[in-house]
Structure 1
Amino acid sequence: MKILAISDIHGKFFRLEGIMRKSDPVDLVVVAGDLTQGGPPENAVRSISELKHFCKNVLCVAGNWDTPEVKAAIGQYAVDLEETPRIYKNTEFMGLGGSNPTGNNTPSEYTEEELEYKLDVLLSHNLPQRTVLVTHTPPQNTLDMTPHGAAGSPALRRALEKVDVVICGHIHGARGKIKDGAWVINPGYAAEGQAAVIDLDTMDIIWIDSVV
């Protein structure tokens, strides 16, 4: 199964055409949050519409910059994995939107206790053979380094032994793929034309750079 992983569009939906042009055909598109920069919802709808012309199966979570109105639009026009986990070809996709506190008072931030509760609910059932957790924020100490230190979530860190793959974003300069219990993948900064095609069967990745 191949997926196109995208994160941090930040309203720049015009970057998606170049990303899709460089992508292989895929079974699913996964968006790991920050479709907008604080709104408006129409920007999220435009991004989802563009992506649906490429692949009808679009799965999303909201990011810390996505307002409640944006999250509602995601649920109306795509699959909000935080609200509705989905199983495709024996793989369960589930989501955790928003982020841990950033210090910038962005629209969708949660305490670590809230994130841990959300994860406990997501992971409380019997999981299928393969699970993909789509989050906006990365796990602590994994693809989360900023000039001010590690910015990831300790709650997500503790979840790494319970899932197979984590697709995240949030830290624009932390693009990469690391095996740390689960595979953790940041597809890059979509607002600058970055994305990734992930083969979940082999864990091979094609890194997309549509702006050079």
Structure 2
Amino acid sequence: MRILVLSDLHYRLPHYDWLLGAAEKVDAVAIVGDLADVVSPVPHDVQAVVVAEYLGRLAERTTVLAASGNHDLDGPGAHGEQVATWLRRLDHERLHVDGASVDVGDTRFTVCPWWDGPLTREEVGEQLAAAAVDRPARWVWLYHAPPAGTPLCHDGRRTFPDQDLADWIAEHGPDVVLCGHIHQSPWADGGGWHARLGNTWVFNAGKAIGPVPAHITLDTEAMTADWFGVYESELVAL
């Protein structure tokens, strides 16, 4: 299986256009949060309509997994904490969003939402525990913020660790965790685009300028991760 991984598109439409072509060459696309952009002059509800259209077109080409990030939240859920309600409403057979766990071949993908408080945090913990039951040969998480204990949460000046994610990784031991959120980490001193926590690989492709977004191609047959960082690239064996 070839999985195209990227995050933090932030409503950059040329990157979505590129993704439409790239999606035809892979078995799955994983977008790990911040599909929209809260500082864009385009109203958030308009962004949601446009991004939903792109996601639908992508799902016509391949399996699509899309997790929310902090820029995607658009209002309180039933519990009063912020959620990406527009993303959760989308319905396509090959589109899997916040709260989903889906098996594709021998790989289980678990798509975690951005959590805004203790109730949504608890929901994520329950989601991961449920998805751990009868797990197949490979388990991949989508979770926007990178975990504590890795260079992926360092932007060159400060570190933004997610200890909850690190604790869940220690508890469940997924094979791969896909993250984003810290845009500069792959290029920053003390940062990086890949790391290990125990036996778990963690990846953050980063966010960069240019017509082609920073991205990672995971190949589960070749057991490689190939990072494209716009001005540089790197391949690691898994």
TM range, normalised to the smaller chain?
A: 0.7 to 0.9
2:87 is matched with which residue? 74
Q: Look up the equivalent residue of 2:169 and give its one-letter code.
A: L
- In 2, Cα distance between equivalents of 1:77 and 1:12: 23
Contact kept? 1:94, 1:122, Cα under 8 Å: yes
Superposed counterparts of 1:140-159, under 5 Å: 140-142=148-150, 143-147=152-156, 149-159=158-168
Contact 2:99 2:113 in 1 (8 A): no
1:46 and 1:211 mapped to 2: Cα distance? 30
Tell me the equivalent position of 2:195.
178
Instruction: Give the SS at the match of 2:147.
Output: coil
* Structure 1 spans left out of the alignment, 5+ residues: 100-108
Unaligned runs of 5+ in 2: 39-43, 76-82, 187-192, 233-238
1:22 & 1:129 partners in 2: Cα distance?
26
Q: How does 1:86-125 map to 2 (within 5 A)?
A: 86-98=102-114, 109-111=116-118, 114-115=120-121, 117-124=123-130, 125=132
- CA drift of 1:50 comes to 5.0
CA contact (8 A) 2:146 2:153 kept: yes
Query: Mean Cα displacement is larger for which, 3-12 or 67-76?
Result: 67-76
Q: Note the alpha carbon deviations across 1:102-152, whole angstroms, 9 max, x for none.
A: xxxxxxx335x7535522432244122211010111111321013553212
Distance in 1, Cα, partners of 2:229 & 2:185: 15
Q: Do residues 204 (structure 1) and 224 (structure 2) align?
A: yes
- The question of 1:128 aligning with 2:136 is answered yes
- Helix, strand or coil for the counterpart of 1:4? strand
User: Share of identical aligned residues, percent?
Assistant: 24
8 Å Cα contact 2:67/2:142 also seen in 1: yes
Question: Comparing both chains, which one has the higher relative contact order based on Cα–Cα distances under 8 Å and sequence gaps of 6 or more?
Answer: 1
Q: Who is 1:106 aligned against?
A: none
Give the drift of 1:86.
Answer: 0.5
- The whole-number CA distance in structure 2 between the counterparts of 1:197 and 1:63 is 21
| Cα distance between partner residues in 1 of 2:23 and 2:100 | 26
CA distance in 1, matches of 2:21, 2:206: 17
Alignment TM-score, normalising by the size of structure 1 = 0.80
> Which 10-residue stretch deviates more, 189-198 or 159-168?
189-198
> Of the two, which has the highest radius of gyration?
2
> Which amino acid in the other structure matches residue 183 of structure 2?
H
Q: C-alpha separation between the residues in 1 aligned to 2:12 and 2:85?
A: 19
Measured in 1, the distance between the counterparts of 2:215 and 2:20 equals 9
Root-mean-square deviation over aligned CA pairs: 2.8
CA 121–57 in structure 1, closer or farther in 2 if over 3 Å, else same: closer
1:19, distance to aligned residue in structure 2 (A): 5.0
